[in-house]
Amino acid sequence: MARGALRSPLPWLGALLLVYLSAPIVYFLYRLAVTPARGFHDSGLFPAFWVSIQGATIATAVVTVLGVPLAYVLARHRGPLVGALGVLVMVPLAVPPVMSGILLIYVVGPYTPIGQFFAGHLTESLVGVVLAQTFVSAPFLVVTTRAAFSAVDPTLGDAAAALGHGQLGRFLRVAVPVAAPGIRAGMVLAWLRAFGEYGATVVTAYHPSSLNVYTYIQFASTGLPGTVAPTALALGVAAVAVAVSRLVVVRRRRRRDHQVVPAPRQPDLPAPAPLRFDVDLRLGQFHLSVAHRADALRLAVLGPSGSGKSALLRCLAGLYGPGPGPVAYGEHRVEAVPVERRRIGYVGQGFGLFPHLNVWEQVLFATDADPGIAAYWLEVFHLTGLEHRLPSELSGGQRQRVAIAQALARSPDVLLLDEPLSSLDAPVRLQLRRELRRLQREARISTVLVTHDPDEAALLADEVIVVVDGHVAQQGPTPGVYDRPRSPAVAELLGVRNVALASVADDGLLRCDAGILLQARTAGLASGTRVLWRVRPADVAVSPAHQPAPGPTHGSAVLEARLDDLSPLGGRVDARVALAPDLVLDADGDGLDGLAVGAPVQVRIAPDAVRVWAAPAGPDDDSLGLAAGGPTGRRPG
């Protein structure tokens, strides 16, 4: 312990409690060593000890069978009824044990209807001991197990549902194994509480005597000498139980014969199943309303964080039930089909791998997974040789590959990917992009990709939906959407640079919203027409104010600007030049080395380099929830 920590009062306060807790035990052990007649040969000692062992074990079994499902329900649901049930579970902790026994006598006593039905055998018997121990120990298991279930990642349940497992399967195969350490701790606490129960037991079953009742009788008749043996037994049992609860359960690697990976078998090409949907969903104050009819197999949903992309994918998977509205995979309407009965491959955020299963068990977890096809996808994603590793033993890229292979092992009709590459390092992300593109090309599976990366959407989708604040900002074939974004705000989301609004001032002349006049090919658009225009950064020629701007001079106007930023990026230099406070363009910054930010510059843009198209009628940028301060959506300040 550090010297500074010793000067703090906290260790000393803790030490006082430790001394108080350990002193009686230490002194008892001393008395046990020096006392000649300890009472271990008393005829009633071990029968009473056996009654306590039996009762605590049976009570713990009953509490486990009934309490674990109750804890699962309490952990997964909210509301007044669940709150009331949680309070009811805690009542045995608040009521004194003797009063707990009296409460039980009101129900199972020899003169109650239930007691008479069992001919009075529910009390003054081992059954009475078990009833008392069950009542007082149940809260310890339920409370601990409820906390363990609450800590289970809910995305694991979603992943299991998408892999074909119903409610019972998700409980037994996911929730219970993942929460097993907490369940074991709750069982140990419940057993210890049941074994140590006296008050309720002495009311419901004075005979046969439990170890605690026997100890009290010995104390009342002979004093402390008669309590040495039962106290020693109780301390020994407590020590064993605590030691068991502290053991780290080491999971043996499963290398059984039935886990031998079979020869890979290439899956059959699925029937094309482009998606159709008209989703309308409210989550609190958030409203998601997106409709689309896909004509291609590869669809991307692009948008900023909080725009509703993941919620839309969950609707398509069926994780919100039928409420959001019509969804069809190809020509088959599926909104009324439970998620576990849809043939989908769903990869949510965070990989969704089960921590207690190795790689081979992961890819076979779907109810209809094919071992040969699973082996094929392991080979495709370069996972051969990793079959017996747990998720904690894999890199991020390997875990992502396993999650996709898991989804594909059942040969789904639709593959739904929720930002599958967002948490990966750039080199790994680039490699997986290529693998996903190859997968889409070879497997011909209908894919919906949710992403906030415009390059990812452009590479992996034939159609794209841009979603902002739960509504469609633009949708259509990917080349058309990227070529002609409907607003500067959408252009920012698409990663398309140098897009701005303007009006046609005259044939061949644009008047930008910032008041700048720009020469362009207006293609016969009438004067006053609202348009969007775009110029590639490579076509924006920039030079210091005292030097002529490079590039063709015929028909190109020289515009005065200010250097807003200069960014060296590996082998190139990016520049940003401000023609006006609300008109900032990206440009090639080569040749501007040494120029200070804020310095005056000259900008030359050839008319042929400016693309112009009519601005769509409808909401402006502000209605999209993006305060665009310039052609790239840059916010002021």
What CATH number does the domain containing 403 carry?
Answer: 3.40.50.300
* Residues 370 and 449 reside in one and the same domain: yes
* Residues 115 and 137 reside in one and the same domain: yes
Last-in-domain residue among 436, 457, 479: 479
* Residues 338 and 230 reside in one and the same domain: no
pLDDT tens column, 523-533: 778 888 999 99
* Residues 286 and 402 reside in one and the same domain: yes
553: confidence class by pLDDT, cuts 50, 70, 90: low
Q: Has residue 383 got a pLDDT over 70?
A: yes
pLDDT of residue 443: 77
248: confidence class by pLDDT, cuts 50, 70, 90: low
The mean of the pLDDT values for the chain is: 87
pLDDT of residue 625: 43
* Residues 285 and 360 reside in one and the same domain: yes
pLDDT of residue 624: 44
The answer to which of 176-180, 309-313, 381-385 has the lowest mean pLDDT is 381-385
The mean pLDDT value for 505-519 works out to 87
In a domain, 30, yes or no: no
253: confidence class by pLDDT, cuts 50, 70, 90: very low
* Residues 131 and 176 reside in one and the same domain: yes
The 3 state secondary structure assigned to 421-487 is: CCCCCHHHHHHHHHHHHHHHHHHCCEEEEEECCHHHHHHHCCEEEEEECCEEEEEEEHHHHHHCCCC
Say which amino acid occupies 285: Q
* Residues near 388 by beta carbon (within 8 Å), at least 6 away in sequence: 253, 254, 255, 259, 358, 359, 360
The mean pLDDT value for 473-481 works out to 94
pLDDT of residue 1: 53
pLDDT of residue 345: 92
In a domain, 11, yes or no: no
pLDDT of residue 583: 92
* Residues 162 and 78 reside in one and the same domain: yes
336: confidence class by pLDDT, cuts 50, 70, 90: very high
Within 13 Å of residue 275, how many CA atoms lie on the same side as its CB?
A: 33
170: confidence class by pLDDT, cuts 50, 70, 90: very high
611: confidence class by pLDDT, cuts 50, 70, 90: very high
276: confidence class by pLDDT, cuts 50, 70, 90: very high
pLDDT > 70 in the chain, percent: 92
Q: Has residue 3 got a pLDDT over 50?
A: yes
Structure pTM?
Answer: 0.82
Q: In which residue are the tokens 């057993």 written?
A: 191
For residues 422 and 449, the answer to whether their CB atoms sit within 8 Å is no
pLDDT of residue 550: 61
For residues 474 and 490, the answer to whether their CB atoms sit within 8 Å is yes
**Token pair in block for residue 559:** 């515009």
Residue 480 CA to residue 475 CA, distance in Å, equals: 9
In a domain, 264, yes or no: no
* Residues 304 and 336 reside in one and the same domain: yes
For residues 334 and 279, the answer to whether their CB atoms sit within 8 Å is no
In a domain, 84, yes or no: yes
In a domain, 629, yes or no: no
pLDDT of residue 316: 95
pLDDT of residue 549: 59
pLDDT of residue 39: 81
Q: Has residue 317 got a pLDDT over 80?
A: yes
Q: Report the domain count for the chain.
A: 3
In a domain, 133, yes or no: yes
Q: What DSSP string runs through 2-69?
A: -HHHHTSHHHHHHHHHHHHHHHHHHHHHHHHHH-S---TT-TTHHHHHHHHHHHHHHHHHHHHHHHHH
The answer to which of 51-55, 214-218, 263-267, 479-483 has the lowest mean pLDDT is 263-267
The answer to which of 1-15, 59-73, 79-93 has the lowest mean pLDDT is 1-15
Per DSSP bridges, beta strands 471-477 and 332-333 are unpaired
Range of 87's domain?
45-246
* Residues near 132 by beta carbon (within 8 Å), at least 6 away in sequence: 100, 101, 104, 197, 200, 201, 203, 204, 205
* Residues 63 and 197 reside in one and the same domain: yes
Assign 239 to helix, strand or coil: helix
538 or 258, greater pLDDT = 538
| φ and ψ at residue 280, rounded to 5 degrees | -140, 110
**What is the side-by-side strand order in the sheet with 530-534?**
517-519, 509-512, 499-506, 530-534, 611-614
Report the CATH number at residue 93.
1.10.3720.10
**Token pair in block for residue 358:** 């190795």
* Residues near 312 by beta carbon (within 8 Å), at least 6 away in sequence: 279, 288, 290, 301, 450, 467
**Token pair in block for residue 21:** 């807790």
* Residues 469 and 520 reside in one and the same domain: no
In a domain, 6, yes or no: no
* Residues 87 and 149 reside in one and the same domain: yes
**Token pair in block for residue 131:** 């009833």
For residues 467 and 312, the answer to whether their CB atoms sit within 8 Å is yes
In a domain, 53, yes or no: yes
pLDDT of residue 637: 29
* Residues 107 and 179 reside in one and the same domain: yes
pLDDT of residue 183: 95
**Token pair in block for residue 407:** 């989804």
Last-in-domain residue among 225, 246, 267: 246
Q: Has residue 5 got a pLDDT over 60?
A: no
